[in-house]
Structure 1
Amino acid sequence: MQNHRKPIPNPRIGALSKHFPRVHALTAGVAVFVLVLAVFIPTPEVEARRMPLPVKLSPVTGETGEAHLDTTLAPHQAVPLASAGTEALQSLSLKIRNGDTLTDLFKRAKVHASEMYHLLGSGREAKQLARLAPGEELTFLLNPEGQLQRLELHKDRLSQVRFTRTTGNTFKHTLVQREPDSHPAYRHGEISSSLFVAGSEAGLSDSLIMEMADVFSSDIDFALDIRKGDSFSIMFEEKFFDGEKIGNGPILAVSFTNQGRTYSAVRYVDNKGDANYFTPEGKSMRKAFIRTPLDIVRISSHFNPRRLHPVFKSRRPHNGTDYAAPRGTPVYATGDGRVIASSYSKANGNYIFIQHGERYVTRYLHLTKRKVKKGQRVQQRQVIGTVGSTGYATGPHLHYEFLVDGRHRNPATIVRKLPKAKSVPTSEMTRFKNQTQPLLAKLASYQGPALAKLDENNP
């Protein structure tokens, strides 16, 4: 059985309540309520102190080297006013591999596919993103919510295509082209076995060697005329980016000594912006025809009206020149003209005939592939086919013929007798001299020490 005892009242509190007026009691209650609010509800200053400090920005560096921020946000994105425009963009770069698609790259970057479709639909310039090439690079710039703010397509170290989100929630297309630093370089070489060996020993790339051969292709047959002791001096541009060499520019001035005769050429850009090579006197280095339809190959059979045929073993005229070269080697049109035949026959295999004006015809036989059609216009050094062994051929080679007024002429000698292309107009000669004389003077200043050193090594 439980005892229910009433609590004994405190006589001090009871006495106090009896003597405390009702108005004062109400006032005391309000004071207690305000005190509770002050303790448990933070003031604006207290709330501000509790907010995290703004994130430290990581600027995105632009192509000029100056730091800048791209903080453009989509219109529907809610951003607190206190932090609007202060988010740092996250950057992620992906190298494009064989077989990669744009979908693969967006997945790898963890960017929603809807962003990709929105970008592709922003304009025709964005369609190039569907044709990505291995070795190119994509850089994604995202805001903290993972939304794409900018996509950069790096085609190479100098070319960049940007797609930047605008305030209208579309993407703006920008092409950024950086210019490398260019400095003139000089090389000198003497031929002991071949032009390619001498050029490589002098530090020239294969493309520069071929460019030099092309400059003199109307004057020197590099398959027939080259001799031991021939030499060259070449001045060209070297291109640097951030202090690192990234490639070569064009030949500026060059000289080639062949069998004791020296040929010189200088690059000139005319008032229309077209660049060509001329002699120091302003005569064009480009004849109506180049000497050979192939790049630096071996002549396996010369023009010979009484040659013994290698297949039929009988005396039959060889009305052209045979150039031995690997199957698939590009074959060039030796001059501007129109294709009058592009077909196949049992004897000639794949063949092409080109008419040049009224008097000249060139013929190209035993091709693996024909790359032009009858009636097509072609330009000098345009690839018209590739070397093969079709028809009556014992191995891969090109049979090349040159006809003047319907009569076969020796292709190795006829070009020397034909006129060159137009020279620099008289009205432009002052401009030509002002532009080219400093280049020729610089080449001569390089040649002096180089030739002196060569004489010391060969007393």
Structure 2
Amino acid sequence: MKARAKPRGATAINHQPTAVPHKHLLAVAVLSACVAVAASLAPGGQVEANREAVSENNEQEQTVARILAATEPAVEVLAQPATGGDTAPDATAAVDSALAARAQAPASEPPAGETAPEWVEQTVRSGDNLSLIFKRAGFDNGDVHQVVYESPEGKRLERIFPGQTVAFLAGNEGELIGVRHVISPLETMTYQRAEDGLFAAEHTLRQPEVREAWASGKITSSLFMAGQDMGLSQSKILELANIFGGVIDFVLDPRKGDTIHVVYEEHYLDGEKYRDGAIIAASFTNQGETFNAYRFEDSAGDVSYYNEDGVSMRKAFLLAPVDFTRISSNFNLRRLHPIYKTTRPHRGTDYAAPTGTPVYAAGDGRVVEAGYSRANGNYVFIQHGNRYVTKYLHLHKRKVKKGQRVAQSNVIGTVGSTGAATGPHLHYEFLVDGVHRNPRTIHKELPKAKSLPKTEMPSFRNAISPASQQLASLQSGSRLALNQAGDNSQR
């Protein structure tokens, strides 16, 4: 790969010893020779010769020190006094020894004002690929190949989405030495060049801080409006409806004055809220009857919601396959058809809702029919076991195909007005052994919900105890905030 221009702000720091100029070494050698000749010609005894030798040695050491002092950074030279009869050390050898000592010394700190290379971020745009992103950062396809195909887990970098961040780190010569893919605020993949030239991968997962929050409210018009007034997000309101969907029809059952209490988690990163967590416990009081639900993970690792007696809140079928809508027509065997103007049995329930409203599978099953007819419009039929069939008519769009397996609350289509319909609504039918039954009352004859086994009950009661106390305090109005600082804001 060709070398690149050094990026702005990056400084190359070389910790190599500074060479002593050749002319300085020559001067030292000549000076040493002259001193030696003068010493041999001068008269005097052995004592005078020793004195002159010592003086000569000192002058050489001072000269070497001055030469080395002229090079940066300075090197400390330790003088070794000559003894009688020894010859003076060679100046060139002394310089070489000092430079060798400097080479072995620890590297000095970068001069003040210089900064280390920094990560440069690129935001993934719609339609981007790795080649485009690397090119914007100043790198080529060779770099892409090294990171993606020669690095462990490198192919994970190919799974990029708009809004994510890819950061690059360049070396002193502009070469690529690091890539950082920020997948989410919680997950990061970092690829950094190792000594062997290959990129090593590091996967980092952050754990958010989990805080407990609560909310209480009253129904004035619908669960959706009440949830908004309580400060709950739309996803949290839908989650609440799914929890109670087996015991409450949120189209028909809620009444003005019904109360809701929710204890849930919030996830924080760096002191700021990142997202909502799971609902820990909730209660819904409908027409004087209170339903409580508690989140519990059993010994097998399965998570579900149960009432205080360990009975699952998840029933075999939802009471209503749509949420937060108004009822437009009930089950009626002698209804006057609004289009054909004839008395025809209405063997189902119509849920009026805006076009595009999600329609859910009422229970687990298999799609046995999915198509279109002049009367039914877009329709989906689901078989649940051997005895039960649910039908969904007048859909705007179908989201499933014949033969497909579905789970309760899976979206199977959207509300529409296709076929013989006067306006957007869902026509919902429920059949038992091939006979139409009223969807609003059949739930009383459906299989009972499963309960936790007796072996799980001690763990269950221990796990839900704090949440149970919290719900009781919310229901009584005392609003005791368990596991929280006393200054938590009330919702």
TM-score by length of structure 2 reads 0.74
Q: Distance in 2 between matches of 1:318 and 1:39?
A: 114
* Match for residue 258 of structure 1 among 286, 301, 317: 286
Aligned to 2:373: 345
Aligned to 1:4: none
Residue 377 of structure 1: how far off its partner (Å): 1.6
* Match for residue 367 of structure 1 among 392, 395, 403: 395
Q: Distance in 2 between matches of 1:253 and 1:266?
A: 4
Residue 281 of structure 1: how far off its partner (Å): 0.7
Q: Is the 8 A contact 2:167 2:180 kept in 1?
A: yes
Aligned to 1:49: 73
Residue 171 of structure 1: how far off its partner (Å): 2.1
Residue 197 of structure 1: how far off its partner (Å): 1.7
Structure 2 counterpart of 1:324, one-letter code:
A
Structure 1 counterpart of 2:359, one-letter code:
V
* Match for residue 300 of structure 1 among 318, 328, 333: 328
Residue 98 of structure 1: how far off its partner (Å): 2.5
Residue 295 of structure 1: how far off its partner (Å): 2.4
SS at match of 1:208: helix
- Per-residue CA deviation, residues 202-226 of structure 1 (Å, 9 max, x unaligned), is 1111111111111110111001111
Q: Distance in 1 between matches of 2:427 and 2:143?
A: 58
Q: Is the 8 A contact 2:148 2:155 kept in 1?
A: yes
Q: Distance in 2 between matches of 1:231 and 1:326?
A: 26
Residue 323 of structure 1: how far off its partner (Å): 1.5
Bigger Cα displacement from structure 2, 290-299 vs 359-368 = 290-299
Q: How does 1:31-50 map to 2 (within 5 A)?
A: 43=67, 46-49=70-73
Instruction: Please list every run of 5 or more consecutive structure 1 residues that lacks an aligned counterpart in the other structure.
Output: 1-22, 29-34, 52-79, 453-459
Q: Distance in 2 between matches of 1:170 and 1:98?
A: 30
Aligned to 1:216: 244
Q: Is the 8 A contact 1:90 1:143 kept in 2?
A: no
Q: Is the 8 A contact 1:343 1:350 kept in 2?
A: yes
Q: Distance in 2 between matches of 1:92 and 1:129?
A: 17
Q: How does 1:249-398 map to 2 (within 5 A)?
A: 249-398=277-426
Q: Is the 8 A contact 2:394 2:418 kept in 1?
A: yes
Residue 268 of structure 1: how far off its partner (Å): 0.3
Q: Distance in 1 between matches of 2:135 and 2:440?
A: 60
Q: How many residues in Structure 1 have an aligned counterpart in Structure 2?
A: 401
Aligned to 2:234: 206
Residue 232 of structure 1: how far off its partner (Å): 0.6
* Match for residue 218 of structure 2 among 190, 193, 216: 190
Aligned to 2:438: 410
- Per-residue CA deviation, residues 365-398 of structure 1 (Å, 9 max, x unaligned), is 1222222222222111112222222221222221
Shift in CA distance, 285/85, structure 1 to aligned 2, threshold 3 Å: farther
Residue 141 of structure 1: how far off its partner (Å): 2.4
Aligned to 1:117: 145
Matched, 1:135 2:135: no
Q: Distance in 1 between matches of 2:452 and 2:204?
A: 35
Shift in CA distance, 436/117, structure 1 to aligned 2, threshold 3 Å: same
Aligned to 2:136: 108
Residue 343 of structure 1: how far off its partner (Å): 1.8
Which segments of structure 1 move beyond 3 Å, counting only runs of 4 or more?
23-28, 38-48, 80-89, 449-452
- Per-residue CA deviation, residues 13-38 of structure 1 (Å, 9 max, x unaligned), is xxxxxxxxxx989958xxxxxx9xx9
Shift in CA distance, 444/27, structure 1 to aligned 2, threshold 3 Å: same
Matched, 1:148 2:176: yes
Q: Is the 8 A contact 2:210 2:268 kept in 1?
A: yes
SS at match of 1:111: coil
Shift in CA distance, 194/81, structure 1 to aligned 2, threshold 3 Å: farther
Q: Is the 8 A contact 2:189 2:202 kept in 1?
A: yes
Aligned to 2:268: 240
Bigger Cα displacement from structure 2, 322-331 vs 42-51 = 42-51
Shift in CA distance, 85/263, structure 1 to aligned 2, threshold 3 Å: farther
- Per-residue CA deviation, residues 257-276 of structure 1 (Å, 9 max, x unaligned), is 11111111100011122210
Residue 318 of structure 1: how far off its partner (Å): 0.7
Bigger Cα displacement from structure 2, 172-181 vs 161-170 = 161-170
Q: Distance in 2 between matches of 1:93 and 1:404?
A: 60
Residue 416 of structure 1: how far off its partner (Å): 3.6
Residue 44 of structure 1: how far off its partner (Å): 5.3
Q: Distance in 1 between matches of 2:358 and 2:211?
A: 32
Q: Is the 8 A contact 2:377 2:419 kept in 1?
A: yes
Residue 195 of structure 1: how far off its partner (Å): 1.5
Q: Distance in 2 between matches of 1:207 and 1:185?
A: 16
Q: Is the 8 A contact 1:159 1:176 kept in 2?
A: yes
SS at match of 1:235: strand
Matched, 1:424 2:452: yes
TM-score by length of structure 1 reads 0.79
Q: Distance in 2 between matches of 1:377 and 1:25?
A: 104
Q: Is the 8 A contact 2:151 2:198 kept in 1?
A: no
Q: Distance in 2 between matches of 1:222 and 1:84?
A: 72
Q: Distance in 1 between matches of 2:250 and 2:208?
A: 33
Structure 1 counterpart of 2:254, one-letter code:
I
- Per-residue CA deviation, residues 285-340 of structure 1 (Å, 9 max, x unaligned), is 01000111122222222111111111101110111111122222222111111111
Q: Distance in 2 between matches of 1:438 and 1:367?
A: 44
Q: Distance in 2 between matches of 1:26 and 1:123?
A: 66
Structure 1 counterpart of 2:365, one-letter code:
G
Residue 440 of structure 1: how far off its partner (Å): 0.7
Q: Is the 8 A contact 2:281 2:294 kept in 1?
A: yes
Bigger Cα displacement from structure 2, 248-257 vs 94-103 = 94-103
Q: Distance in 2 between matches of 1:300 and 1:25?
A: 119
Shift in CA distance, 233/147, structure 1 to aligned 2, threshold 3 Å: same
Q: Distance in 1 between matches of 2:163 and 2:446?
A: 46
Structure 2 counterpart of 1:256, one-letter code:
F
Bigger Cα displacement from structure 2, 309-318 vs 81-90 = 81-90
